[in-house]
Amino acid sequence: MNVIQLNDKIFEPFITADEIQREIRSLAKEINESYAGKKVVFVAVLNGAFMFASDLLKEITIDCEITFVKVSSYKGTATTGRVDELIGLTTKLRDRDVIIIEDIVDTGITMDKIHKIIELERPSSLKICTLLYKPAAHEGVHKPDYVGFSIPNAFVVGYGLDYDEIGRNLKEIYQVRETKSENSMLNIVLFGPPGAGKGTQSERIIEKYGLVHLSTGDIFRANIKGETELGVLAKSFIDKGQLVPDEVTIDLIKSEFKKYSNPKGFIFDGFPRTNAQAEALDAFLQSEGTAISKMLALDVEIDELKARLKKRAEVSGRADDANPDVIQNRIDVYIAETMPVKAFYQEQDKFVKINGLGSVDEITGRLFAELDKI
C-alpha cells in the first residue's frame, strides 16, 4: 500500500484489505453465534456500507435477509422543520431481529436518526454493526454493538467510504495525512546534485526563515576533522565518492534533530539521499508530530556541475572535489540512488523544481518565492 492523493488531500495506508477481511470474518462469527437459530434482517445503509455489507453477508451462515436504505432529510412544513426518512425501507421489520449495517459511525447523529426511524417499526430486537467507529467523535445515544475497528478521530476513505464521492472503490482504508497548517514547523529538503549550490542557498534560507540547518555532509566533515569514530567511518566512504550507509546517516539526523527544543523548522541539506532514508525520515518526523513541508530541488545540468565542482576544489580543500573520478562517481551515485528520492516527494505532492542556473541571487529569489507560498 502506498500513499495516495484524492483531490486536494493526501491519504496514508491505514487498514489493509487482509485486515478488513479478517475482521469481517470475526464479526460474522460473533453474529452467527449470537443469532444461532434465528433469522436476521440486515438493513444496510447506502452508499458507504455497500462493500462492507456485501463481504459481511458472504460470511453469514444463519438465515437472513438484507435490505438497503438511504438516509434522506428534507424540509417538511414550517412547523415540523427538517424531517428524516429512510428511503427504500420496504421490508416489514415488525417483530423481527434487525441489525443495521453501517460503514462508519462518527458523531453518531446519522445512526441515531436511523435507529429512531427503525424503532418505530417495532422490531423485536435492534442492533448496530459498523465496520468503523470513532469513539472520540461520538456524541450519539446509540453506541454500535458490533464494531470492526475503533479508530482515531481522523478522516478515512476507501472500502466504500468516500471523499467527495471518490475513493469508494479502494480495497483498503486510508487515513488523511495532516496538512502543514496543523503543525507549525517549516521543514525543507533542499535537494540537488553535488555542486548544485545547496550549501550556499541553505545559508540564505536559514538567515531569512530562521531554520536550523542539518547538513549531513557538514556534520560528517566536522567529525572527520575531529577524527571521531563516526568521522573515521564516514571518511572511508566519502573519500571514494560513496554514500555513508543509511543506518549511520539516519541515526545521525535523529540525534541532531533532537538537540533543538523548539525549532521553527529544519532545512535538510544533502539528506535524504536514498529512498530508504526518505522513508525513515518521514516515519521519524511523523513520530515527532511534524512532516516535510516541501522538497526544493535545484536543477543543474551535469556538465555545468562538473565545471562548478572543479572550480570549488580550488577553494574548498575537499578531497572529493579534487579528483575527477570521485566527482564522476558522486554524480553516478546521485543519478542511481538520489534521483529516485524526487519521486518519493512527488507522490506526496511536495516536490518543487527550481531552476539552478543563473546568479546566486537569482536562484535565492526563486527559492524564497516557493518558500513564501507554504
**Residues annotated as part of the active site:** 198, 273, 312, 318, 330
- Taking the chain, what is the end-to-end CA distance rounded to the nearest angstrom? 28
Q: Which of 225, 369, 334, 353 is nearest to 296 (CA)?
A: 353
Per-residue x/- mask for Mg ion, residues 77 to 96, rule CB under 5 A?
--------------------
Please tell me whether residue 306 adopts helix, strand or coil conformation: helix
Q: What is the identity of the amino acid at 69?
A: V
> Least distance to ligand IMP from the beta carbon of 367, Å?
37
Please give the Cα distance from 158 to 17 (Å, whole number): 10
Comparing CB distances to Mg ion, the nearer of 88 and 263 is 88
Binding segment for ligand IMP (CB under 6 A), chosen from 108-116, 195-203, 340-348, 349-357, is 108-116
Contacts of 227 (CB under 8 A, 6+ apart): none
Continuous H helices in the chain: 17-34, 50-58, 109-119, 198-209, 216-225, 229-238, 246-257, 275-287, 302-316, 319-322, 324-333, 340-347, 360-373
Residue 108 found at the interface with ligand IMP (CB under 6 A): yes
Instruction: Select from 31, 42, 43, 48 the one that contacts Mg ion (CB under 5 A).
Output: 48
Please give the Cα distance from 156 to 167 (Å, whole number): 10
Comparing CB distances to ligand IMP, the nearer of 16 and 236 is 16
**How many chain residues interact with ligand IMP (CB under 6 A)?**
13
Comparing CB distances to ligand IMP, the nearer of 44 and 157 is 157
Binding segment for ligand IMP (CB under 6 A), chosen from 50-58, 99-107, 188-196, 314-322, is 99-107
Residue 161 found at the interface with ligand IMP (CB under 6 A): yes
DSSP 239: T
Q: CA of 28: how far to CAs of 17, 86, 96, 97, 104, in Å?
A: 16, 25, 19, 15, 17
Contacts of 56 (CB under 8 A, 6+ apart): 24, 27, 28, 42, 101, 129
Instruction: Select from 44, 105, 189, 196 the one that contacts ligand IMP (CB under 6 A).
Output: 105
Residue 173 found at the interface with ligand IMP (CB under 6 A): no
CA dihedral 301, 306, 310, 313 (to 10 degrees): 80
Residue 130 found at the interface with ligand IMP (CB under 6 A): no
Instruction: Select from 48, 123, 265, 356 the one that contacts ligand IMP (CB under 6 A).
Output: 48
147 binds, among Mg ion, ligand IMP, none (CB under 5 to 8 A by kind): none
Binding segment for ligand IMP (CB under 6 A), chosen from 57-65, 151-159, 256-264, 310-318, is 151-159
Binding segment for ligand IMP (CB under 6 A), chosen from 52-60, 107-115, 191-199, 312-320, is 107-115
Residue 172 found at the interface with ligand IMP (CB under 6 A): no
Residue 148 found at the interface with ligand IMP (CB under 6 A): no
Per-residue x/- mask for Mg ion, residues 9 to 28, rule CB under 5 A?
--------------------
Binding segment for ligand IMP (CB under 6 A), chosen from 33-41, 155-163, 217-225, 328-336, is 155-163
109 binds, among ligand IMP, Mg ion, none (CB under 5 to 8 A by kind): ligand IMP
Tell me the helix, strand and coil percentages in the chain, rounded to 5: 40, 25, 35
Comparing CB distances to ligand IMP, the nearer of 106 and 269 is 106
250 binds, among Mg ion, ligand IMP, none (CB under 5 to 8 A by kind): none
Q: CA of 73: how far to CAs of 81, 92, 144, 165, 258, in Å?
A: 10, 22, 22, 19, 52
Binding residues (CB under 6 A) for ligand IMP: these are 48, 104-111, 155-157, 161
